[in-house]
A and B are shown apart, each in its own frame.
Chain A
Amino acid sequence: MSAANDIGDRLTQFKNKGKDVNELRRRRAEVNVELRKAKKDDQILKRRNVQSLLDEPTSPLQEKDPNAQPPQHWSVEEIVGGVNSQTLDHQLQATQAARRLLSREKHPPIDCIIAAGLIKKFVSFLAWSECPPIQFEAAWALTNIASGTSDQTTAVVEGGAIPAFISLVTSPHPHISEQAIWALGNIAGDGSNYRDLVIKHGGLQPLLALLAAPDLSVFPSGYLRNVTWTLSNLCRNKNPAPPLTAVEQLLPALVRLLHYNDREILADTCWAVSYLTDGSNERIEVVVQAGLVPRLVQLLGCEELSIVTPALRSLGNIVTGTDEQTQCVLNAGALVMFTRLLCHDKPNIQKEAAWAVSNITAGKDTQIQEVINAGLVPILVEVLKQGDYKTQKEAVWAVTNYTSGGTLAQVAYLVQCNVLEPLLNLLTAKDSKILLVILDAVYNILQMTCKAGDIDKLCLMIEELGGLDKIEALQSHDNEAVYKSSLNIIDRFFSEENEDESVVPEATEESYTFEIPEDQSTFQF
């Protein structure tokens, strides 16, 4: 409860400062794809689709390569005939033929198979435990149908496949069990709806039972990878996120997998954790309570990009939570790892790391102190100087958050680390949102220094770095908020008549917190 209060306080404090708490602690927003481009490609591809339909009948000919299957290409009609025949052998052959069609790489005829009404039949084959081969072929065929579009997955679900697959998970034949798990993964991967439907049908329990085995190494690694992937799909997707009870059941298994030594399994498990942590503080809490934070931090140090990426994402998600949750990550020694991550040769990792740091500097001043102690400030300045643009943006956030929550000494240290030069250089950016964030940082720094009475030197420094010119130029910016923000800085700190100290707040901590809201409300329209 006290924690909640604490957040509430901070929240109002931030709100009064004219910002949403969500803006300081910034949750992951989906990356904007270049929509325009995609659309344009679509237009071109429309034509393509027509063509691909046309060459459908001839495609068996195209498939002529030495690696191809024995040349028994069945037409969909033949398959329908075979599946409905009376002899088991014929049915098996037809199912296998369907599976082959669906497994070819180009244009599998998923819709034709659905239209032929074969799904019902295949689902019924799943239950024929007296004939494992047909169970397997049907499971494979259905897996591939479910791997398609949402409509195609829906067709499989509506054929009643979910319960059938769930009962196959416990099949005595590992390859059938594996195929069923794969199919469930495809269904759950379609979205929140089917994910929850699989959970509702009790799909989670047999999987967890498997993972509760005393020794996981009895499973072939391919099998275990499929289980992990399906499990991660059961954690995936938001709006709504998976039911909390399911998450709680799932977590011990994830913790166990997190200690299993296989690259793909570790990667998929970390992704699962990243999905679970991408949500409210309540959900983050459940994950943190499972005690996997130290292991995640450990994985940050491994060499595999495929593991580091989701591990970093998960930790980044956790530090969007409460100060306590963030502290948990800090206590696990995460900051030591960030020295390396902030200079990683993949720009994407740099960006994610800077994002995480920005959320840590949005925390308490003791947490900012930990960032300083880990030696990250000079690196952050370096990133600000020469990272790619997206990373620079995150670093700007880190600086701004730092300046709004840090103590005077901390901010002074930041300035000592030469943050101003790269920060002011970024004022030439086009994006007005980032301009506002930079201007806030500049304002905060000036404000703090002003309080300490050492303003002239700083103003001179900003002027010498060409910052004043840039801020002045921004007064004619199209964006009204940018204009007001830059005007405010010039007005308060750089105009002659403002020499009188009356505007400058008293240097006590108390009045500082009161003073700010008033100042900000003027620049908030």
Chain B
Amino acid sequence: MFIADIRKEFYEVVANQRVALLVAADIDALCACKILQALFHCDQVQYTLVPVTGWQDLGTAFLEHKEQFRYFVLINCGANVDLLEMLQPDDDSIFFICDTHRPVDVVNVYNDTQIKLLIKQDDDLGVPTYDDIFRDEDDEEGGDSGNESDEGSEPSGKRRRFDEGAVERRIERQRAKREWEARRREILFDYEQYEYHGTSAAMMFFELAWVLTKDTKDMLWWAVIGLTDQWVHDKITHMKYVTDIATMQRHVSRHNHRNEDEENSLSIDCMRISFEYDLRLTLYQHWSLYESICNSCYTSCHFKLWTLNGQKKLQEFLADMGLPLKQVRQKFNSMDMSIKENLREVIEESSNKYGMKDIRIQTFGVHFGFKNRFLASDMVHATAALLESTEKDESDSDNFIKALDSLSRSNLDRLHSGIDQAKKKLIAVQQTVASCICTNLILSQGPFLYCYLMEGTPDVKLFSKPMALTLLCKYLLKAFVHSTRNKRCKLLPLIMAAPKDVEKGTVIVVGIPPESETSDKKNFFGRAFEKAAESTSSRTLHDHFDTSSK
């Protein structure tokens, strides 16, 4: 069931209990987890944090902890399957689920006792009504026990005598029941057909903190990062992003206003969050402007930087802005102040000429003390790189902890190492995109496009992780749409596969919806993959919480 009052029905319930926190491996989940941890520290709630990377993991984590815990909080996992069916928990285990995955499984929605959904009902959920999908079995059974007994089954112990019209009515009812079942299948099909994402989990928990009047700037920043993660990884529509940014902006100005007097002056340990209308150039403040332009999806696709022509165009573009190459190629931090001063306007002006009308985007930035400034998207890229790090052979949970740490402002070193890894990852993505386009690796398979990264492709190990592969997939599709002349291909979805574990010979597959400005970001690959696996009887594991990757 949906929880109406998150404070009374969730926080006050778990406040005096020991809680198991099961957290999925995405940035929004990490941020949500940070906020909840901060609240739990505040109120001295005991909890155990368990990172989970997939359904299997979730099952194991539950088995390991079900004896010691009654309350489980699931962050960004669990909403889109019948959780009780999957975990087979005891009757007294209670699950609080804060998950952006949609559609929410109907059984989760209508279970009143064990499943508590921390999901905003005003999110566009479209859950079928109870009566459309559930029906009191007794209604029908009652009729059958009348006079005829089912072939070969034991006669009923008690029988009610119906009035005279009962037989005809029963036939009528059976017909109605069949119709109802057909309609139910249709409704459920429509409801479960596409998967998409709802309001950020971090924002949900920030709202909880706010309701408890325990919200801090750190929490606010995490909520911003959670939302930005949804934008960077293309999980929500632009419309939804802008709306939620506005919500966050209200909180930001409230906080800035509250601390106006004491903190207006910068101090060494201050933290200042500000709304920015900033450039869509990835990590540019921690890179050189040139490298950022080359490795940002937006600019690289527009210039088609994988072509010679594109490279030329880039030079023209830089010339148009009147930025000396020497300045552009050096670290952003070391650029002349005079250039940096109105850099954003200069870039915007030239971009407009080159058809990049939306090079700027509403976002937030943060200052830690004097020196460190980050955009929300910087944080997302850095943390994501740490979370899916393949540099050393560390376990998933080590990476998880590192990524979680990088979100604390006391751990700037870790954050910087994350930024370094993120740069490498972005370069790898760009190079892979370029090579896939140049060597025509994207095949049109009729209703969809398909690309398989061969074993031995450079950086292929990086793309054995779901977030990285999804990011690559999205960049690749965008680049493909810009480079192909085939109009039909622009409307096709893309399926991408990469080797997951070379030794075991497994492959990871993701599917993404067609690329278009008006895309509703709804993904039908979840169901399609299930069907495909069924019809080819391949051995598959639909493990990822996004059903569209496995």
Instruction: Choose among B161, B163, B166 the residue with the greatest number of A CB atoms under 10 Å from its CB.
Output: B161
B126 within 8 A of A: no
Compute how far the CA of A52 lies from the CA of B130 in the bound complex, rounded to whole angstroms: 12
B8 within 8 A of A: no
Contact flags (1/0) for B137-176 with A, using CB distance below 8 Å?
1010011000001011111111111110110111011000
Closest to B145 in A: A147
Compute how far the CA of A47 lies from the CA of B168 in the bound complex, rounded to whole angstroms: 30
- Interface-lining segment among A103-111, A401-409, A510-518: A103-111
- Distance between B144 CB and nearest chain A CB, rounded to angstroms: 11
B93 within 8 A of A: no
A100 within 8 A of B: yes
Closest to B137 in A: A41
Establish whether residues A43 and B158, one from each chain, have CB atoms under 8 Å apart when the complex forms.
Answer: no
Compute how far the CA of A44 lies from the CA of B131 in the bound complex, rounded to whole angstroms: 12
Closest to B166 in A: A105
A305-B112 contact in complex given A40-B84, A45-B136, A48-B134, C-beta closer than 8 Å: no
Establish whether residues B161 and A271, one from each chain, have CB atoms under 8 Å apart when the complex forms.
Answer: no
| Residues on B with beta carbons closer than 8 Å to the beta carbon of A144 | 160-161
Within 8 A of B (CB), among A178-231: 179, 182, 185-186, 189-190, 229
- Distance between B134 CB and nearest chain A CB, rounded to angstroms: 6
Interface residues on A, range: 35 or more
Establish whether residues B158 and A189, one from each chain, have CB atoms under 8 Å apart when the complex forms.
Answer: yes
Compute how far the CA of A309 lies from the CA of B155 in the bound complex, rounded to whole angstroms: 12
Contact of A306 among B110, B114, B139, B152 (CB under 8 A): B152
Contact of A48 among B136, B156, B158 (CB under 8 A): B136
- Distance between B115 CB and nearest chain A CB, rounded to angstroms: 9
| Residues on A with beta carbons closer than 8 Å to the beta carbon of B154 | 271, 310
Compute how far the CA of A146 lies from the CA of B156 in the bound complex, rounded to whole angstroms: 13
Contact of A106 among B137, B139, B159, B161 (CB under 8 A): B139
Instruction: Choose among A48, A100, A104 the residue with the greatest number of B CB atoms under 10 Å from its CB.
Output: A48
- Distance between B151 CB and nearest chain A CB, rounded to angstroms: 5
B111 within 8 A of A: yes
Establish whether residues A43 and B160, one from each chain, have CB atoms under 8 Å apart when the complex forms.
Answer: no
Establish whether residues A44 and B163, one from each chain, have CB atoms under 8 Å apart when the complex forms.
Answer: no
Establish whether residues B159 and A43, one from each chain, have CB atoms under 8 Å apart when the complex forms.
Answer: no
| Residues on A with beta carbons closer than 8 Å to the beta carbon of B158 | 146-148, 153, 185-186, 189-190
Establish whether residues A309 and B165, one from each chain, have CB atoms under 8 Å apart when the complex forms.
Answer: no
- Distance between B214 CB and nearest chain A CB, rounded to angstroms: 33
Contact of B163 among A100, A190, A308 (CB under 8 A): A100
Contact flags (1/0) for A15-43 with B, using CB distance below 8 Å?
00000000000000000000010011101
Establish whether residues A103 and B136, one from each chain, have CB atoms under 8 Å apart when the complex forms.
Answer: no
B88 within 8 A of A: yes
Contact of B160 among A46, A69, A143, A236 (CB under 8 A): A143
Establish whether residues B91 and A267, one from each chain, have CB atoms under 8 Å apart when the complex forms.
Answer: no
A54 within 8 A of B: no
Establish whether residues B155 and A147, one from each chain, have CB atoms under 8 Å apart when the complex forms.
Answer: no
Establish whether residues A69 and B163, one from each chain, have CB atoms under 8 Å apart when the complex forms.
Answer: yes
Establish whether residues A305 and B163, one from each chain, have CB atoms under 8 Å apart when the complex forms.
Answer: no
Contact of A44 among B88, B134, B169 (CB under 8 A): B134
| Residues on A with beta carbons closer than 8 Å to the beta carbon of B110 | 44, 47
Closest to A307 in B: B152
| Residues on B with beta carbons closer than 8 Å to the beta carbon of A87 | none
Contact of A67 among B111, B155, B161, B165 (CB under 8 A): B165
| Residues on B with beta carbons closer than 8 Å to the beta carbon of A39 | 91
Within 8 A of B (CB), among A321-348: 346, 348
Establish whether residues B152 and A232, one from each chain, have CB atoms under 8 Å apart when the complex forms.
Answer: no
Within 8 A of A (CB), among B168-194: 168-170, 172-173
Compute how far the CA of A41 lies from the CA of B165 in the bound complex, rounded to whole angstroms: 31
Within 8 A of B (CB), among A430-473: none
Compute how far the CA of A105 lies from the CA of B88 in the bound complex, rounded to whole angstroms: 35
Closest to B85 in A: A40
| Residues on A with beta carbons closer than 8 Å to the beta carbon of B137 | 41
B107 within 8 A of A: yes
Contact of A103 among B112, B151, B153, B160 (CB under 8 A): B160
B113 within 8 A of A: yes
Establish whether residues A236 and B111, one from each chain, have CB atoms under 8 Å apart when the complex forms.
Answer: no
- Distance between B344 CB and nearest chain A CB, rounded to angstroms: 54
A147-B172 contact in complex given A44-B107, A271-B155, A346-B152, C-beta closer than 8 Å: no
Establish whether residues A105 and B152, one from each chain, have CB atoms under 8 Å apart when the complex forms.
Answer: no
- Distance between B111 CB and nearest chain A CB, rounded to angstroms: 6
- Distance between B209 CB and nearest chain A CB, rounded to angstroms: 31
30 A-B pairs within 8 Å (CB atoms) are namely A40-B84, A44-B110, A44-B112, A45-B136, A46-B113, A65-B169, A67-B169, A68-B165, A100-B163, A103-B161, A103-B162, A105-B162, A105-B166, A108-B160, A140-B161, A143-B161, A147-B160, A148-B158, A153-B158, A182-B161, A185-B158, A186-B158, A189-B157, A190-B157, A190-B158, A305-B151, A309-B152, A346-B152, A348-B152, A349-B152
Beyond A40-B111, A65-B172, A271-B154: 14 further Cβ-contacts under 8 Å? A40-B84, A40-B107, A45-B136, A47-B112, A47-B130, A103-B160, A103-B161, A105-B142, A106-B142, A144-B160, A144-B161, A148-B160, A268-B155, A310-B154
B interface list, Cβ under 8 A from A: 84-85, 88, 91, 107, 110-114, 130, 134, 136-137, 139, 142-143, 149, 151-163, 165-166, 168-170, 172-173
A interface list, Cβ under 8 A from B: 36, 39-41, 43-48, 51-52, 65, 67-69, 100, 102-106, 108, 140, 143-144, 146-148, 153, 179, 182, 185-186, 189-190, 229, 232-233, 236, 264, 267-268, 271, 305-306, 308-310, 346, 348-349
Which 9 residue pairs spanning A and B have beta carbons closest together? A67-B165, A189-B157, A147-B160, A309-B152, A103-B163, A305-B152, A147-B158, A186-B158, A305-B151
